[in-house]
């Protein structure tokens, strides 16, 4: 019986090896839908921008659009954490929720654009914040001989520091500054000058109100002349009447 034990073990091991080799291989795990915040999280240094994208729900809008078969792709300008920390203190806290949404949407182009496409782009570019032609959300890009991309808003000038991600449908470019749109951060229009208060302390009455026709009192002189003329006329009439009575 003992001589059979090694043989049985060999047969058992052979059976296990044969079964394992014949088992079908597991298919590769399919890649999930595009997630823009996951891309930025993997890249690092975009914590503030990610938080704003999530709080404004712009991240959800982007992911939904990217996973739509009819999408023309998207281009995202992502300011780094250093770009946000360079803003004046309290800048983001001073914005309303609606302005924060517009600010993040201002960093999104509704089409995929490669670095080479920026060289022939027609300015101003349209963003998801609104129409660029009305002067509120203009976004202009220029490139130099080294294919460096500069982005201007009318408020700030930013530079694309690197390409974070690009797959032909989504392009993510890192920025050294936050893109501030004119509609939110542009100079306020000048306030109209206040109307002069009437009758205030120390105010000088107008000549019409005082009855004067000139500053030197010529109006009073003319009035007295009229009164003297009327008096002479009455005296003449009285003398003429007395002569007739004699």
Residue-wise pLDDT tens digits, 112-161: 999 999 999 999 999 999 877 777 899 999 998 777 899 999 999 999 99
Structural domains of the chain, count: 1
Residue-wise pLDDT tens digits, 75-111: 999 999 999 999 999 999 999 999 999 999 999 999 9
Sign of CA dihedral 232, 233, 236, 242: negative
What domain range is 156 assigned to? 36-184
Is residue 218 very low, low, confident or very high in pLDDT (cuts 50, 70, 90)? very low
Q: Residue 1 falls within a domain, yes or no?
A: no
Q: Residue 195 falls within a domain, yes or no?
A: no
Q: What's the CATH code of the domain at 122? A: 2.30.180.10
Q: Strands, E, within the chain: which ranges?
A: 74-79, 108-109, 140-143, 149-152, 157-166, 170-175
pLDDT greater than 50 at residue 209: no
Phi, psi for 8 (deg, rounded to 5) = -65, -40
Q: Is the pTM of this model over 0.75?
A: no
Q: Residue 67 falls within a domain, yes or no?
A: yes
């Amino acid at each position: 019986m003992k001589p059979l034990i090694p043989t049985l073990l060999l047969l058992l091991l052979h059976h296990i090896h044969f079964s394992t080799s014949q088992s079908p291989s597991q298919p590769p795990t399919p890649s999930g839908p595009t997630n823009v915040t996951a891309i930025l999280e993997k890249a690092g240094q975009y914590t503030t921008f990610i938080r704003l994208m999530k709080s404004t729900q712009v991240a959800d809008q982007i992911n939904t659009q990217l996973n739509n078969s009819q999408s023309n792709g998207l281009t995202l300008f992502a300011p780094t954490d250093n770009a946000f920390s360079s803003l004046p203190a309290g800048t983001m806290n001073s914005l309303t929720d609606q302005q924060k949404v517009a600010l993040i949407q201002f960093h999104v182009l509704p089409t995929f654009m490669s670095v080479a496409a920026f060289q022939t782009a027609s300015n101003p570019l349209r963003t998801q914040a609104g129409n660029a032609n009305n002067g509120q959300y203009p976004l202009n890009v220029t490139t130099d001989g080294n294919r460096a991309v500069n982005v201007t808003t009318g408020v700030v000038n930013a530079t694309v520091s690197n390409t974070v991600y690009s797959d032909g449908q989504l392009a993510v470019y890192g920025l050294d500054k936050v893109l501030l749109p004119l509609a939110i951060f542009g100079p306020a229009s000048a306030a109209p000058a206040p109307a002069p208060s009437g009758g205030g302390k120390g105010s000088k009455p107008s000549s019409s109100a005082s009855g004067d026709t000139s500053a030197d009192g010529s109006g009073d002189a003319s009035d007295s002349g009229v009164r003297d003329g009327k008096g002479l006329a009455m005296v003449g009439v009285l003398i003429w009447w007395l002569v007739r009575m004699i």
